[in-house]
Amino acid sequence: MAGSPDRIYADPSVERLFTGATIITFIRTAITLAIAVWAAYDESLTLIAVGLVVYWVGDSIDGEWARWFDCETRMGAVVDMMCDRLSCGALYVGLIWLEPTGWLSDEPMTWIGIPIAIYLFEFMVIDMYLSLAFLAWPIRSPNYFHVIDRRIYLWNWSRIGKAANSGAFAVILLATGWVWLGIVIAVALLVLKCVSLGWLLRLGIPIPAREQAPAQ
């Protein structure tokens, strides 16, 4: 049952790498990377957009699958994080390469690399650290961090928090073509993550107790 202790807390007996959810994660990542490479060869913004949709939809499906079929694991959560960042990096670097025009603007986004670089630093470094912090507690994934700290959870892993940190940046940047707006959004996300990091550090990350060596 969603929200029950059995769902929230990790069970070592069910931890495994390959589940239905992680298989979906690997498949959607492979498809996304293939599209990113194809987009680079064809210099196609359309393919980049398709790749972003595959990444976002696939990321949603694997998470829902894990919850529907009760196969959430800590291994799966970490694999999902790594694959998200691999997919994101490949597609966003492709955007820098293409220097596209926005859907509402005819001017090429010459300096698009600036907001993307800020965003990738936020997502691939600060957010990755925040997301991996759940491993210090016996919960299955960051989706249950509300039992540790509700404020950090709401800002980062609630549905609104996830949407703000994933699709919103790319959609607004591509729709408007305004690099300055992309910079504002990327910096705002970076500040949000740094504030969350400060909260996490003040909360303190527990260190597992050291096991005593058996007496000789």
Q: What would the pLDDT profile of 94-108 be if each residue is shown by its tens digit?
A: 999 888 887 777 788
Look up residue 216 and give its amino acid.
Q
Domains identified in the chain and CATH numbers: 5-203 (1.20.120)
Q: In the structure encoding, which two tokens stand for residue 83, read together?
A: 């694959």
Residue 149 has a pLDDT of 97
Q: What's the pLDDT at 61?
A: 95
Low-confidence ranges of the chain (pLDDT < 70): 1-5, 213-216
- Pull the structure tokens for residue 151: 């404020």
DSSP string, 82-104: HHHHHHHHHHHHHHHHH-PBPTT
Please calculate the CA angle 103-185-193 and round it to the nearest 5 degrees. 145
Phi, psi of 14 (to 5 degrees): -110, 0
Q: Cα–Cα distances in Å, from 145 out to 65, 85, 150, 152, 153?
A: 19, 20, 7, 8, 5
Span 17-45, pLDDT tens digits:
999 999 999 999 999 999 999 999 999 99
> pTM for the whole thing?
0.90
Cα 117 vs. chain centroid, distance in angstroms?
A: 16
